[in-house]
């Protein structure tokens, strides 16, 4: 297990190739920890959506990937943050179909459904979204 201060991977997010890298690193950590294929895909999809938002609405940001497993649970925690304008109305932004970008408005609500925990903190100058996925270990 690695403490939250030391990510197992961190990606500066500026371009679509950074999205691809962040996706891959999240999937690789999940695979290494023994998450199944569906959970690996859930995490990769969540990372895609959050990092895509960073590029679209803030220009750039960072994605940090942590192994927060303990003796009972395998757990991946991911923090995606940016220094853009922030999300003025988080409740609206979490609704299916709400988009200020002329898009589907499915990214944030979809990500919440895909993950076990989902938290948004957002103010002008700092938006931080923290997600995690965990599964119980099969302890004999
Ligand atoms: N990092 C961010 N900074 C500022 N605003 C954001 C950020 N992420 C999301 N938002 C706001 O929240 C809204 C909803 O985001 P969400 O990802 O659900 O939908 P979308 O990006 O508009 O469309 P889709 O993801 O379906 O292509 C966005 O339209 C935008 O207004
Ligand atoms: Mg989006």
Instruction: Give the pLDDT confidence of 32-75 residue by residue, as tens digits.
Output: 999 999 999 999 999 999 999 999 999 999 999 999 999 999 99
List the strands of the sheet with 9-13, edge to edge: 9-13, 61-67, 73-82, 126-136, 117-123
pLDDT digits (tens, 9 = 90+) for 82-140: 999 999 999 999 999 999 999 999 999 999 999 999 999 999 999 999 999 999 998 66
Beta bridge partners of 121: 128
Q: Residue 73 pairs with which residues in a beta bridge?
A: 136
Using 50, 70 and 90 to split pLDDT, how confident is the model at 7? confident
Q: Compute, in angstroms, the gap from residue 87 CA to the centroid of ligand 1.
A: 8
Query: Whole-structure pTM over 0.85, yes or no?
Result: yes
- Residues in the 5 Å CB sphere of ion ligand 2: 53, 107
Whether 76 and 40 have beta carbons less than 8 Å apart is answered as no
Q: Are 95 and 104 in contact (CB under 8 A)?
A: no
9-136: CATH architecture:
2-Layer Sandwich (3.30)
Domain boundary assignment for the chain: 9-136
Q: Distance, CA 33 to ligand 2 centroid (Å)?
A: 28
Distance from Cα 100 to the centre of ligand 2, integer Å = 10
pLDDT of residue 1: 52
State how far the Cα of 59 lies from the Cα of 5, in Å rounded to an integer: 25
């Amino acid at each position: 297990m690695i403490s939250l201060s030391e990510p197992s991977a961190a990606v500066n997010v500026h371009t679509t190739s950074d999205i691809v890298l962040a996706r891959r690193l999240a999937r690789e950590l999940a695979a290494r920890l023994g998450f199944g294929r569906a959970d690996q895909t859930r995490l990769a999809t969540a990372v895609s959506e959050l990092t895509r938002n960073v590029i679209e609405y803030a220009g750039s940001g960072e994605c940090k990937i942590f192994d927060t497993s303990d003796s009972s649970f395998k757990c991946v925690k991911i923090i995606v943050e940016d220094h853009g304008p922030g999300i003025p109305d988080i409740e609206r932004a979490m609704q299916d179909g709400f988009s200020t970008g002329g898009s589907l408005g499915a990214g944030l609500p979809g990500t919440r459904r895909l993950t076990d925990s989902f938290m948004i903190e957002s103010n002008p100058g700092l938006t931080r979204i923290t997600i995690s996925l965990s599964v119980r270990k099969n302890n004999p």
